[in-house]
Structure 1
């Protein structure tokens, strides 16, 4: 989403989707696309305010180590997956550009193509067909759209999209572009998709501060609900168009525990007095962080991240459950399965 934070709150879903369990990983490989909620190092050496240089949290899919960022992943890393996410990135190329350098979703897809060219020799034995068969078994999660609203549509001081498009028009425009991008990943071999809904940014402390409110900004949330509704529709259409693939829509939990009751302010002291931005350095955060929904002005706390990640893991069960069954069949028949 926004800018650099002074605590390890990033990697909300991607790491929580990885638990230490006995046995092999539930999928052979895992590819991650998204923004600062997913980024675990790709922005570290870019000229940007959106740094995400902290360790991710927990694990759930059985991998022995975290999926490495594209910026530093080595050959033995990419066989089990790559994280392409970039803080500040969006579906649209210009989203987040006022923050500095970032890797848009289009460019994350280009980086994935580079990975595939390397995988041809690592797992495909020189064969693109065999490599795509390997990729068919991998899980792909994508979390995009947050910055297209926070750092584009609802940032009129930097972007003119809100004057060019109504919320409905912008949502349709975004989802159409998103659909083309997901289909590009399909063409490269992806078959198991988990697509995160955009967050209700109107309920972030940062957006409340921008609008001078102490409760959720309905106009912001209404626009994002339009996007999520159209996104769900387009994923259903893609499931029909590509019966050999599965596109799963991942929404946020309907409610959190009642003791998660601090929703209108961040746990840490933020960089600007009006509540925008992220944690200021060298300041002690709140002592009861377990009660806070947001760590800084836009990003959730670890507790919320674990709750959201656990629900995402459950929602995605058709992807890794079907992979476990197909792996048994492949091994029984002597087919190419894991590299």
Structure 2
């Protein structure tokens, strides 16, 4: 009889733990996301833009299909949201409504940059300033839902804000001299300074509207993307140094900005995620992460599958988890998973500065 009671109690305990796991609250009340096509999940679907991904084969491995994510499956912020304990993905600003916004909103827009003109050759997009303005609208709605500004401010102070902008300011601006004059106006050092100044202004606006926990994602290795290799690499394998060098200058300034803000805003916390360094590991030792192909897109057109992104209904490679890049510019879900996990819990000291997202969530 005693053993039966013991088994029954053990089963009850297992069931209780299972229920608790299902109903556990996320580590932070909400997650706000700003960025470009690396994390856009549908904000460009219904605007006049060539930078859209709401068609197959995009989303071929995502439960909801082609939602507008520029990947075969999850993006980096989807992975981070899961690790933070959210039971659903953060909705795009274009469709977020009502109580849903209390869990956070994704404002990212493909082709968007820090500079207003960035990406204009691709049509409509919501630049970083526009995304911040959309967040301000969300804050007004949250104040209405919660009931007063002080309570809303307290709520927002516990949320995480991830910002990943800057890639397009190089890809679809500085290194596109046929459309833009920035490379003739500025050296790479001057351009990084200009970008960081504008970036700083928008971070201050976010701070003034309640943000206190900031995750600043560095620019990845654009010079190693299939597009850069297709256009500028003599052998289709060697990364383009002049692009990567410019990206590293920006990242260095961004890391410094984290230290500056942490020194001057004692009630806020800023961290820097070294996406560039994580990608360096993936490229240097791909087999350790299960990758076989690092220089070509899983789908796309032309050399390295990198001259044009995936066409509607175009067949993609079958072994998608073995590809670092999904298309000409964007990582596969497999690569996004590595970056997201290392952003959440650093595996190397250099992955996150001064600490990772899991620690930020606890503060």
Scaled by the length of structure 2, the TM-score of the pair is: 0.79
Give 1:212 deviation, angstroms.
Answer: 4.2
Aligned length: 301
* Distance in 2 separating the partners of 1:266 and 1:157: 25
Aligned to 2:60: none
Partner of 2:221: 200
Instruction: Tell me the residue number matched to 1:182.
Output: 203
Query: CA shift at 1:157, angstroms?
Result: 1.0
Cα distance between partner residues in 1 of 2:53 and 2:302:
16
Q: Which residue of 2 aligns with 1:5?
A: none
Give the SS at the match of 2:117. coil
* 1:94 matches 2:120: no
Change over 3 Å in CA distance of 1:210–1:21 after alignment to 2: farther
1:150-161 equivalence runs, <5 A:
150-161=171-182
Q: 1:284, 1:96 → 2: CA distance? A: 27
Question: Is the 2:227–2:304 Cα contact (8 Å) retained in structure 1?
Answer: no
Deviations 1:135-163 (A, max 9, x none): 10111000000000000000111101001
Please state how far the C-alpha of 1:282 moved relative to its aligned partner.
Answer: 2.9
Deviation at 1:273, TM superposition (A): 9.0
**RMSD over aligned Cα, in angstroms?**
1.7
Which residue does the alignment assign to 2:7?
none
Confirm or deny: 8 A CA contact 2:84 2:358 kept in the other structure: no
Tell me which residue corresponds to 1:289. Answer: 320
**Is the 1:194–1:249 Cα contact (8 Å) retained in structure 2?**
yes
Task: Establish whether residue 28 from structure 1 lines up as the match of residue 29 from structure 2.
Answer: yes
**DSSP 3-state at the match of 1:173:** helix
**Residue aligning to 2:142:** 119
> Partner of 2:349 in structure 1?
none
**Residues 5-42 of structure 1: per-residue CA shift (max 9 Å, x gap):** xxxxxxxxxxxxxxx86511110011000001111111
Secondary structure (helix, strand or coil) at the match of 2:161 reads strand
The whole-number CA distance in structure 1 between the counterparts of 2:107 and 2:89 is 13
Does the CA-based 8 Å contact 2:306-2:329 persist in structure 1?
no
In the other structure, the counterpart of 1:222 is 245
User: Which is richer in helix?
Assistant: 2
Could you say if the C-alpha distance between residues 271 and 101 of structure 1 is closer, same or farther in structure 2, counting changes exceeding 3 Å?
farther
- Partner Cα distance (2:94, 2:281) in 1: 36
Q: Cα offset for 1:272?
A: 8.4
Shift of 1:274: 7.8
Instruction: Tell which structure's C-alpha radius of gyration is larger.
Output: 2
Matches within 5 A, 1:1-339: 23-53=24-54, 54-55=66-67, 57=74, 58=79, 59-123=82-146, 125=147, 127-213=148-234, 214=236, 215-252=238-275, 253=278, 254-256=280-282, 257-258=286-287, 259-270=290-301, 275-314=306-345, 315-322=356-363
Residues of 2 paired with 1:274 and 1:196: CA distance? 26
Question: Unmatched 5+ residue regions in structure 1?
Answer: 1-19, 323-339
- Structure of greater relative contact order (alpha carbons < 8 Å, 6+ residues apart): 1
Q: After alignment, is 62-71 or 268-277 more displaced?
A: 268-277
- Tell me if structure 2 keeps the 8 A contact 1:202–1:218: yes
| TM-score calculated relative to the size of structure 1 | 0.85
C-alpha distance in structure 2 between counterparts of 1:96 and 1:271, whole Å: 22
**CA deviation after TM superposition for structure 1 residue 78, in Å:** 0.5
Q: Deviations over 1:106-128 (max 9, x none)?
A: 000000010011111112x1x22
Distance 2:254 2:22 in 1: 33
Q: How big is the shift at 1:269? A: 3.0
> 2:233 touches 2:239 (CA, 8 Å); kept in 1?
no
Residues 116 and 127, structure 2, Cα contact 8 Å, conserved in 1: yes
